Every structure is written in C-alpha cells, then in structure tokens.
C-alpha cells in the first residue's frame, strides 16, 4: 500500500486534479483520497491543502512529494531490473526532446526500440527547461537537448551530434540559386522564426547579436510546423537547424542554404539524471548511445 500511496502523490502532482490523478492510477477518486489521508495519518503531517478541488501541497507535503517521486522511480527500476535478469527489459522509456531535435531523435530511439522489443518508447517535445524539470522530478528517463548554450544541471551528458543552421526559402526566390548565405544577408530578408521562449531562437539571436545583426522577424511561431507553413506560403523565409529541415521540412517546394560568416555549430546530446543506479531502460539507452560513439558513427546517424 505504501508504494501505491507514493504513486498517488506523484500522479496528483502531475495532474493537479484528484479525478484525473485517480484515473491515471486506475482507481476511484475516493480510493485515491483515502490513500493520501491514510499516508498523512501515518506520517503525522498534512500533505495536501484541503479544499473542494486540488489547491496544492503543504510545505511538508512538498518534501514528502520529493521522497514519493524517488520511491516510485526506484520501485519501477527495481521491477524492470527483476525482469532484466531473465534477459530482457520492460517498461516505458520516457524521453524529452527539444523541438530542434525531434527529427533527429528517432535515429537513436528507433534502433533502441528494435533491440528492446518489450519496452514502450515515449518521446515528448519539450523545452530544455521542461526537460530539466522532468529529470529532476523523475518524470523523464532521458532528454535530448543542447549541451552548452544553457546547460542542464545534475545530469550526465553524452554528445550526439552538432547542430548546423540553414536559411530556408522557396525555389522560385532569387536567393535559392546561391550555394550559401551570410547571416547578415539572411537577417535582411522577411523572416519567420521561433518565439523567444524557445532556446533555438535564443541561439539564433545570440549568433546575430555577436555579428552585430538585429533579429527582427516579421512572424514568430512556437513550432517548426508553423515555420514550414509560413515559408511555403511566402513571402517569408526562416533560419532553422539543418536536422529539422532534413527530417521535417525537406521537400521540392523548399530550398536550404548553409549559413556562413559565421559558421555556427551547437552541440546536442543525450542527458540523463545523475542518480545512481540508472533505471534499466535509461541505462540501456545510454549503453546504445555510447556504442554509436565507439563505432565513430554517432555524428553520421543524425544527418
């Protein structure tokens, strides 16, 4: 019952709603509420702020929640490890990937799933801040994100590939005949860029700022799908990671030109919690990523 109560708390923190938390735990709402009340009685502290709806956790409850997340994660790791002794791992691998890496991430996650057929892979598109929070709160097993620009804390890192930037436009535009484009030339065009809350946009702004160029896009969107849509409709262009263009936007109606002066690269890698031991699914993912590196192909698989 104790472990189940820990799962109740974790679900309530995630869903912020008693009914949805109960549904996620496959129990009735009265059962979940009773389990939490029993835990409060056993520990002798109030955990949840009482009201007609979920209002948050008490100060004591926040501390209990931290332990609950660790206990729930350790229990799941123990369960996976028990199965692993039979020669296979099971469970769910939860990976957060920044938008710029979602097109490249399957190069690692697809072979992982093929090798571990009993593991369900769940990839979520998240900001780098959300990936940090997911690792800290043990809601994620791993992340694929930038390693240097705004590095994460309390994580182990493994470089995967280097992000290059391209200017995308339509093939009927005069610039489409160029072999490359300078950043200053790209900035002078009508642009559609990601919104400033996206780290990819902040990197582009930093590159332009270091070159003395102002970043003044005509249109901003928080998704690459939005970028592709606006560029295809015109008259807007964009600056995007090459991996995103190859994976999501490459088509006969779009052209990508390498950006030079300067040529900027940004390392992207796999990040996992510093917790030891890692969960079996996280450890297996790390082992696979390391094997790509030993084979000298980790850069090429993401191109």
Q: What is the pLDDT of residue 220?
A: 97
Preceding omega of 277 cis (within 30 degrees of 0): yes
pLDDT value at 88 more than 80: no
pLDDT band (50, 70, 90) for residue 9: confident
At 112-168, the pLDDT tens digits run: 999 999 899 999 999 899 999 999 888 899 999 999 888 788 899 999 999 999 999
What percentage of the chain carries pLDDT values higher than 90?
Answer: 46
- Contact of 285 with 93, CB cutoff 8 Å: yes
Percent of the chain with pLDDT over 70: 92
Q: Report DSSP state, residue 277.
A: S
3-state secondary structure 222-254: CCHHHHHHHHHHCCCEEEEEHHHHHHHHCCCCC
The count of other CB atoms within 10 Å of the CB of residue 69 is 19
Specify the pLDDT at position 84: 54
Q: In the prediction, which pLDDT does 81 show?
A: 64
Q: How confident is the model at residue 296 (pLDDT cuts 50, 70, 90)?
A: very low
Question: pTM for this one?
Answer: 0.73
**Predicted pLDDT at 195:** 93
Q: Is the pLDDT of residue 285 over 80?
A: yes
Q: What is the chain's mean pLDDT, rounded? A: 87
Number of helices (H), then strands (E), in the chain: 11, 10
Separation between Cα atoms, residue 259 and residue 238, nearest integer Å: 11
DSSP state of 1: -
- The answer to whether residue 294 scores a pLDDT higher than 90 is no
What is the per-residue pLDDT for 302? 52
Mean of the pLDDT values across residues 212-220?
92
Task: Record the tokens describing residue 135, joined without a space.
Answer: 């690792």
């Amino acid at each position: 019952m104790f472990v189940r109560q820990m799962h109740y708390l974790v679900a309530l923190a995630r869903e912020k709603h008693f009914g949805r938390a109960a549904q996620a735990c496959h129990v009735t709402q009265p059962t979940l509420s009773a389990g939490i009340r029993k835990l409060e009685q056993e520990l002798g502290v109030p955990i949840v702020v009482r009201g007609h709806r979920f209002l948050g956790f008490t100060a004591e409850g926040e501390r209990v929640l931290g332990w609950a997340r660790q206990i729930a994660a350790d229990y799941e790791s123990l369960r996976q490890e028990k199965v692993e002794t039979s020669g296979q791992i099971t469970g769910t691998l939860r990976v957060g990937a920044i938008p710029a890496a979602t097109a490249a991430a399957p190069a690692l996650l697809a072979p992982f799933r093929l090798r571990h057929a009993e593991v369900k892979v769940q990839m979520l598109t998240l900001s780098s801040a959300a990936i940090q929070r997911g690792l800290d709160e043990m809601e994620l097993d791993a992340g694929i994100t930038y390693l240097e620009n705004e590095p994460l804390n309390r994580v182990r890192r493994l470089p995967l590939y280097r992000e290059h930037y391209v200017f995308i436009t339509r093939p009927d535009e005069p610039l489409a005949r160029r072999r490359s484009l300078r950043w200053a030339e790209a900035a002078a065009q009508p642009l559609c860029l990601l919104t400033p809350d996206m780290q990819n946009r902040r990197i582009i702004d930093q590159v332009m700022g270091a070159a003395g160029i102002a970043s003044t896009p005509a249109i901003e969107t928080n998704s690459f799908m939005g970028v592709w849509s606006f560029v295809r409709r015109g008259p807007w262009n964009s600056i995007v990671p090459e991996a995103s263009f190859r994976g999501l936007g490459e088509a006969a109606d779009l052209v990508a030109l390498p950006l030079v002066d300067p040529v900027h690269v940004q390392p992207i890698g796999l990040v996992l919690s510093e917790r030891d031991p890692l969960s079996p699914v996280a450890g297996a993912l790390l082992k696979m990523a390391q094997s790509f590196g030993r084979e000298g192909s980790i850069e090429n698989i993401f191109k």
